[in-house]
Amino acid sequence: MKHSLRNNLVIALSILVIAAAIAQGISSYQLCRAGMSALLDLRLEQVAVRMHNGFADSIPATPERGSQPSRDIVITIHRPGSEVPLRSTDPSLRLPEDADAGLSSEQVNGERWRIYTLRDPGTLIQVAQRSSVRDQLERETALSTLWPMLVLLPLVLGAVLLIVYRSLRKMNQLGMEAQGVDASHLKPLPVAGVPTELLPFVGSINRMIERLAQSIEAERKFIADAAHELRTPLTALQLQADNLQPHIVAGNQERFKELRSGIARSGALITQLLRLARADAPLVSDTVEATDVSKIVVDAVSDVLPIAAARGIDIGAEEMSTDKVAAPAADVAVAVKNLVSNAVRYTPDGGTIDLCARTQGNMLWVEVRDTGPGIAPELLPRVFDRFFRANLDVEGTGLGLSIVKAITGKYGGEAVIRNRSDGRSGIVAAVSFPLAEAPAAKSPRVAQKQNGGVAEAERAVAPHHLHGRDA
């Protein structure tokens, strides 16, 4: 299970805010109830004092039955030695005359009452209120103080989420920058605007990128130097073999042919190593030329057409975009020709190879589909590894797809190899390059004929032709 720093911070801060809100809510609730209780007690005391100061005559001597609301206070005034109260808002309620002076809580007629008792030599004044009414008033008042907190809590949690997100946004940007670091893009991470706490971490990554760049550059130089050094003796060996051929007796011609074949394979390997070294070399300038991919596809088909025709392989194009890509023609040609030559090499006699070049968003994709044996699913993740060969029965160096991957990554594109998913055997090999300008409308075969693109392609690949078919 992956742990998210942002999620952990949000959860921790949210728990802290909620806990603080709960504690504050309980405290506010209790304080409000206590304050309301004190206010109601003060009210009982003030009423008793007013009765003592001459307001007792305002109470009717014989109040009507049922005229006293249950939520109102009850006032009773006694004279010493009298069995019946002098004045009372509820004569049926007999408050205990022996209650302590001041505030007290008593049980009367099966109910709990809060009573304030005021005594002087000639009068006993008692003001009472039901405890149930007081509890209800206290709860209602206390609960009303919680509404602002309930409204503010979601806002505070939203603010926590926003603050955490904004605080970690720079870290996310650095993560995206780090994801873009590969062998062809070894640029250090930017330190402008990076929080102080992250500077040591970013500095460590930049030093690691610097060491990696030095290591890759040393490897590239070694490959290039070794290939250059080996090319001269191999060329001399090839010339010596050519000069020696007339002097080889008939019985040794087969072995001599194997020798020349081994020299040719070594030469091909050296050529691939030089191409790989050039593909791994960093860009010396951010400006690259605009390249017409359709012409490169036509040239790639033309190069393999004699071999395909001899083996009965049907090779053609379904769609040809006229958009240009931001990459040198030489590098694009190496990538496309490697895919096409691989398709011809692995497609059995009488098979089919389909090519298309189409624009998707700001990228142009060149796709090559064949009807070969395909690749075992467990080997697909390794197809771009250097010197890896999925099929050892077919001759090759194991560097072609590595070169394709290096070239596409160098110019911000992609290389993809997958098995076909349309029920047929074979693979789909595709490369993409960023467009050199705003995407133009896709041009199907009919539109290509209008601008002469297909006419040129048809001449280049005759007697086969570019055609649209449901592969």
pLDDT score of 97: 83
Whole-number pLDDT of residue 258: 82
CATH architecture of residue range(s) 196-280: Orthogonal Bundle (1.10)
What integer pLDDT is reported at residue 46 of this predicted model?
Answer: 92
Q: Please report the DSSP string for 33-65 in residue order.
A: HHHHHHHHHHHHHHHHHHIIIIIGGGS-SSPPT
Comparing 196-280 with 290-461, is the CATH topology the same? Answer: no
pLDDT at residue number 116: 92
Q: Single out the residue of 434, 459, 448 nearest to residue 320, CA to CA.
A: 448
The pLDDT value recorded for residue 207 is 87
Instruction: Kindly write down the DSSP assignment for every residue of 287-332, as one continuous string.
Output: ---EEEHHHHHHHHHHHHHHHHHHTT-EEEEEEE---EEES-HHHH
Specify the pLDDT at position 63: 63
Overall pTM > 0.75? no
Distance between CA atoms of residues 367 and 432, nearest Å: 9
The pLDDT value given to residue 450? 32
Write down the H helix ranges in 311-387: 329-346
The domain locations on the chain are 5-144, 196-280, 290-461
Task: Give the CB-side neighbour count of residue 430, counting CA atoms within 13 A.
Answer: 18
pLDDT in tens, 219-274: 777 766 776 666 677 777 778 877 877 777 777 888 888 887 787 777 777 777 76
pLDDT at position 424 is: 86
Low-confidence stretches of the chain (pLDDT < 70) are: 1-2, 60-68, 81, 182-185, 223-224, 227-231, 274-275, 277-287, 391-397, 437-471
CA distances (Å), origin 321, targets 89, 114, 448: 99, 92, 8
Q: Which residues make Cβ contacts (< 8 Å) with residue 364, sequence separation at least 6?
A: 293, 321, 323, 325, 357, 358, 432, 433, 434, 435
pLDDT number for residue 442: 39
What's the pLDDT score for residue 280? 65
Residues 6+ apart with CB under 8 A from 327: 288, 289, 291, 407, 411, 413, 433, 434
pLDDT score at 282: 63
Architecture of the domain spanning 290-461: 2-Layer Sandwich (3.30)
Cβ atoms of residues 288 and 331 within 8 Å? no
DSSP 116: E
What pLDDT sits at residue 470?
34
pLDDT for residue 392: 64
The half-sphere exposure of 132 on its side-chain side, counting CA atoms within 13 A, is 7
